[in-house]
Chains A and B, each alone.
Chain A
Amino acid sequence: MAVVAAAAGWLLRLRAAGAEGHWRRLPGAGLARGFLHPAATVEDAAQRRQVAHFTFQPDPEPREYALETQSPLPRNFEMGQTQKMNLFQSVTSALDNSLAKDPTAVIFGEDVAFGGVFRCTVGLRDKYGKDRVFNTPLCEQGIVGFGIGIAVTGATAIAEIQFADYIFPAFDQIVNEAAKYRYRSGDLFNCGSLTIRSPWGCVGHGALYHSQSPEAFFAHCPGIKVVIPRSPFQAKGLLLSCIEDKNPCIFFEPKILYRAAAEEVPIEPYNIPLSQAEVIQEGSDVTLVAWGTQVHVIREVASMAKEKLGVSCEVIDLRTIIPWDVDTICKSVIKTGRLLISHEAPLTGGFASEISSTVQEECFLNLEAPISRVCGYDTPFPHIFEPFYIPDKWKCYDALRKMINY
């Protein structure tokens, strides 16, 4: 009897594990393979790992992009020949364009030579040579310091930090050195041709050290630019702008979008301006601001608001964290009177605080309700609790509803 019960218990565990895809790891799992039933029941669905908390929405095509360039007249941008690319492919494309255009440009970091742990640099070493696409030893402070040195000579340095969670050893080099190079030397020297790229944000199972969004730490540092794209098309244009920008830039790539986001992206290079937020959907009642993956969450929240509450939302992708586009946000809040900002990073000291503080200074009399921040909790990023941790559409929707009813 006990044996049967034990066996039953063991089977249930295996089924549960099978539903999660972890069955291989249980002892005796190989033998149990024949016992597993197809996972088609409701319980199995509940135990299956969470699907993504967002749905990637490419921007509608065809896209006409007015670019502010050196010339006084804005140029309209035609897409030209495009190719379906996901986020990591759009990054590869940007890097490919950069190395083709700029003979001084080099790419380096951990594991970039074989193509990178997220495949962002696939094919580039073969195409451009091992002196231009190369591995460095495992040392983030070295990677960034080395990159600064290359940039000081005027060559273009594109450094990769394997996960944004590991950028902290390089914090001194970024904040005390890169950001201050031009200022402290009276513009005799600078490292403007340095760009640091790093995978960023939640990915479903990354936990403490593969999910972080550290933009707030860098927002407090005058002298660098911090940029976060929401899509492959945005990523390529913004990354190219970062690389060509004459200031050191950090480009955070939402890793969950590497494969999940795919759209038509021009093969040729193009630039999307930095420090310009984008109003991706116009509205009149509430302003929603986010960046990276979270833009897709708030876009869905805007649809929910329209459908369930008849509320018209203006959705803004901030894109550049610093220097940030105060005017676009304020202009929107003056129109709507309500602001909701959302990010995965923890609430306290997160970048929403900066936006909130500035907006209440500039638009105090236009506000109909307190500014709402829907963010991660003030905890390290948890593993199994991720579905509860992230500022998902329900939390954003709820906050929006409260703002409307204020």
Chain B
Amino acid sequence: MAVAIAAARVWRLNRGLSQAALLLLRQPGARGLARSHPPRQQQQFSSLDDKPQFPGASAEFIDKLEFIQPNVISGIPIYRVMDRQGQIINPSEDPHLPKEKVLKLYKSMTLLNTMDRILYESQRQGRISFYMTNYGEEGTHVGSAAALDNTDLVFGQYREAGVLMYRDYPLELFMAQCYGNISDLGKGRQMPVHYGCKERHFVTISSPLATQIPQAVGAAYAAKRANANRVVICYFGEGAASEGDAHAGFNFAATLECPIIFFCRNNGYAISTPTSEQYRGDGIAARGPGYGIMSIRVDGNDVFAVYNATKEARRRAVAENQPFLIEAMTYRIGHHSTSDDSSAYRSVDEVNYWDKQDHPISRLRHYLLSQGWWDEEQEKAWRKQSRRKVMEAFEQAERKPKPNPNLLFSDVYQEMPAQLRKQQESLARHLQTYGEHYPLDHFDK
């Protein structure tokens, strides 16, 4: 009954309003209603009215031929709290985070930055096989991580190490995964930066892009059923958003009413492919309404904007069981990975602009300075300290052996199948005879 009334109300509101306006007017319902949003196809069927009766759309007739112009000249506006100099623009949007929290944001970003420098260099020196830096995107990581509960489940793509950093994932374990050493909880199976942490609710990264998107939706559905009061956040880049899995995930989240935050890091490039070759519409945020998803675009280099948007999205996603899409605009300052040299497809000037004029770390530092919570001395001391911490972890990681080669064979299934055990035994026998040709010295006995 309430559903029918709500449906009728929405139907009346539909008249004379544009689609976009309708979405803004959608009132959040309280959790516990049979449906959070009035279903649009449940109107009473009446053949006497000259109104559209199609089950597939809730709209009025129009007798003028008009194509909707996709509005890409002036796209969805970008929400920000701080200007590029770290000054709050609109005081009512200042989240007024306590000093400890803002310092934690700052230290997470800078520690990540330091770790990135050292590990990138270590790949160049042949110590690890591969690395991906997070330069320029640190704000998207920590701003969003800080707005979540520690138990909210995270599905990432590969450039979200700051989320783990914010959740206090130890340097030792970052390094262990990159080195594939005996301390790696992933047991040395994946390339560097494919982190995972059960304790910190960070699902292990996999290389195929966007596969995590429908998975995150499923996890959110399960969280909803379990009444877990938990949101799932799913990170992906603007390139991955072109994958079919992204479309699948968005559509499922909306139709199945899942408490999920889709967080798109739009950093301008998918390896060498600029956004002008990735999409022709208004970025990723503009796709949300097409699926019936609440959407916003934010300045990803503004930690407070990211924080505010994620915080509100989290509150409503859990309360209303609906998905939210946040497109965080940012810039990938580093190369795609150690296998990439981005000077082949973009100018050094462009990169320098972002590094010098619009960097999440600098902007937050300006804010800290203006609050009197930080100064040059502390900056120097922290730089020294963070560098030392990273170097210590690095040297330790380097010294540790790799895991026992038997771990090549376990965890394919929960139990090892007979045929696989035979293969494991066959390798053991092979190594007995030919062991000298293998790097056994580096591996745990």
Q: Which residues of A contact B (CB under 8 A)?
A: 104, 106, 131-132, 134, 136-137, 139, 141-142, 144-155, 157, 169, 172-173, 176-177, 180-190, 192, 222-223, 225, 246-247, 275, 323-324, 326-327
Contacts and interface: CB of A to CB of B under 8 A. Distances in A.
Given A152-B203, A176-B208, A192-B414, 9 more contacts: A145-B213, A146-B214, A146-B218, A149-B217, A149-B221, A154-B222, A155-B226, A246-B413, A326-B419
A176 B244 contact: no
Contact of A185 (B155, B204, B217, B420): B204
A192 B226 CA distance: 18
Given A184-B204, A185-B204, A146 B419 contact: no
A223 B413 contact: yes
A173 B155 CA distance: 15
A184 B217 contact: no
Nearest to A222: B412
Contacts of B323: none
B413 A141 contact: no
Given A186-B411, A188-B198, A223-B412, A145 B245 contact: yes
B105 interface: no
Contact of A182 (B194, B198, B214, B411): B411
Contacts of A223: 412-413
Contact of A189 (B194, B198, B420): B198
B303 interface: no
B187 A136 contact: no
Contact of B248 (A142, A153, A177): A142
Contacts of A155: 222, 225-226
8 nearest CB pairs, A to B: A149-B218, A145-B214, A142-B248, A185-B204, A149-B215, A186-B187, A323-B417, A146-B218
Nearest to A275: B417
Interface in B394-412: 410-412
A371 to B, nearest CB: 18
B219 interface: yes
B217 A153 contact: no
A225 B204 CA distance: 22
B275 interface: no
B153 interface: yes
A186 B225 contact: no
Contacts of B242: none
B418 A326 contact: yes
A184 B206 contact: yes
A155 B218 CA distance: 10
Contacts of B418: 323, 326-327
Nearest to A155: B222
Given A172-B208, A183-B189, A188-B185, A150 B256 contact: no
B362 interface: no
Interface in B185-203: 185-190, 194, 196-198, 203
Given A153-B153, A186-B186, A323-B417, A146 B221 contact: yes
B192 to A, nearest CB: 13
B255 interface: yes
Contacts of B153: 153
B225 A131 contact: yes
Contacts of B417: 275, 323
A247 B220 CA distance: 21
Nearest to A180: B206
B223 interface: yes
A405 B317 CA distance: 71
A189 B153 CA distance: 12
A150 B411 contact: no
A152 B219 contact: yes
A136 B256 contact: yes
Interface residues of B, number: 50
Contact of B215 (A146, A186, A192): A146
Interface in B210-247: 211, 213-223, 225-226, 244-245, 247
A91 B186 CA distance: 37
A142 B246 CA distance: 9
A326 B255 CA distance: 45
A180 B207 CA distance: 11
A324 B420 CA distance: 11
A51 B410 CA distance: 48
Interface of B: 153, 155, 184-190, 194, 196-198, 203-204, 206, 208, 211, 213-223, 225-226, 244-245, 247-249, 251-252, 255-256, 410-415, 417-420
Given A145-B249, A149-B216, A177-B206, A184 B194 contact: yes
Contacts of B189: 183-184, 186
A185 B204 CA distance: 6
Contacts of B411: 182-183, 186-187
A163 to B, nearest CB: 18
Contact of B219 (A132, A149, A247): A149
A126 B410 CA distance: 42
B255 to A, nearest CB: 6
Contacts of B419: 323-324, 326
Nearest to B215: A149
Contacts of B186: 184-186, 188
Contact of B203 (A106, A187, A189, A275): A189
Residue with the highest number of chain B CB atoms closer than 10 Å, among A106, A146, A151: A146
Contacts of B256: 134, 136, 146
16 contacts: A141-B245, A148-B214, A152-B218, A176-B208, A177-B206, A177-B215, A180-B206, A182-B412, A185-B204, A186-B185, A186-B204, A190-B414, A222-B420, A323-B417, A323-B418, A323-B419
A134 B258 CA distance: 14
B97 to A, nearest CB: 30
A177 B217 contact: no
B221 A150 contact: yes
B185 A145 contact: no
A154 B223 CA distance: 10
B442 to A, nearest CB: 19
A88 B252 CA distance: 27
Residue with the highest number of chain B CB atoms closer than 10 Å, among A104, A147, A150, A246: A150
A167 B153 CA distance: 28
Contacts of B198: 188-189
Nearest to B190: A184
Given A176-B206, A183-B412, A137 B215 contact: no
A173 B210 CA distance: 10
Contact of B204 (A136, A189, A247): A189
Contact of A136 (B196, B226, B252): B252
Contacts of A146: 214-215, 217-218, 221, 248, 252, 256
A320 B368 CA distance: 62
B371 to A, nearest CB: 39
A389 B113 CA distance: 63
B218 A145 contact: yes
B414 A145 contact: no
Given A169-B244, A185-B186, A145 B211 contact: yes
A343 to B, nearest CB: 20
Contacts of A139: 247-248, 251-252
A60 to B, nearest CB: 30
Contacts of B255: 136-137
Given A136-B255, A139-B248, A323-B419, A157 B412 contact: no
Given A136-B255, A192-B414, A142 B249 contact: yes
A176 B210 CA distance: 12
Residue with the highest number of chain A CB atoms closer than 10 Å, among B211, B216, B222, B245: B222
Contacts of B204: 181, 184-186, 188-189
